[in-house]
Amino acid sequence: MIRRGEIYLVNFGKQYNSEFGKVRPALIIQNNLANRVLDKVHFKGVTVIPLTTNLVGGRLRVQIKARDHLKQTSEICINELCTLDLSRIQQDLVLTQLQQDEITEVEQKLRQHLAL
């Protein structure tokens, strides 16, 4: 089962205009209640946030240092939040898992981005 805070490789498909494309790491941001029932529901959408190695910083980015199976230091691109089908996630390998302080920073910046 995928879990909130884990990072996997995700197939974003062909890039369209300014959207993220290709296979790249992404953070599972969807809650674990929804993640636990994915095998029981018809719509298997998973909310993720893509990562990039194009490090530019800013108020809508969270930097994650290379560790575990995440080979390069990357930034979580908060403003690129999206929902994709579960089949796009390569579930065989968790690249890494966020630490609590990183999750807190992502949540804070996500609230800021969505004006919550």
At the topology level of CATH, where does 6-114 sit?
SH3 type barrels. (2.30.30)
> Which backbone phi and psi does 25 adopt, to 5 degrees?
-65, 150
Confidence of residue 13 (pLDDT cuts 50, 70, 90): confident
Q: Is the pLDDT of residue 22 over 90?
A: no
In three-state form (DSSP H/G/I as H, E/B as E, the rest C), the secondary structure along the chain is CCCCCEEEEEECCCCCCCCCCCEEEEEECCCHHHHHCHHHCCCCEEEEEEEECCCCCCCCEEEECCECCECCCEEEEHHHCEEEEHHHEECCCCCEECCHHHHHHHHHHHHHHHCC
In contact, 80 and 114? CB cutoff 8 Å: no
Instruction: Give me the residues paired with residue 67 across strands.
Output: 70
What does the pLDDT read at residue 19?
59
On the question of pLDDT at 20 being above 90, the answer is: no
80 phi, psi to nearest 5 deg: -105, 20
pLDDT (0 to 100) of residue 16: 64
pLDDT of residue 64: 98
pLDDT at 14 exceeding the cut of 80: no
pLDDT (0 to 100) of residue 54: 94
Q: Could you state, in order of their start, the residue ranges of all structural domains in the chain?
A: 6-114
The model's pTM: 0.93
Mean pLDDT computed over 85-91: 96
Cβ proximity of 1 and 91 under 8 Å:
no
Which pLDDT tens digit goes with each residue over 54-72?
999 999 999 999 999 999 9
- Quote the CA–CA distance of 63 and 100 in Å, as a whole number: 14
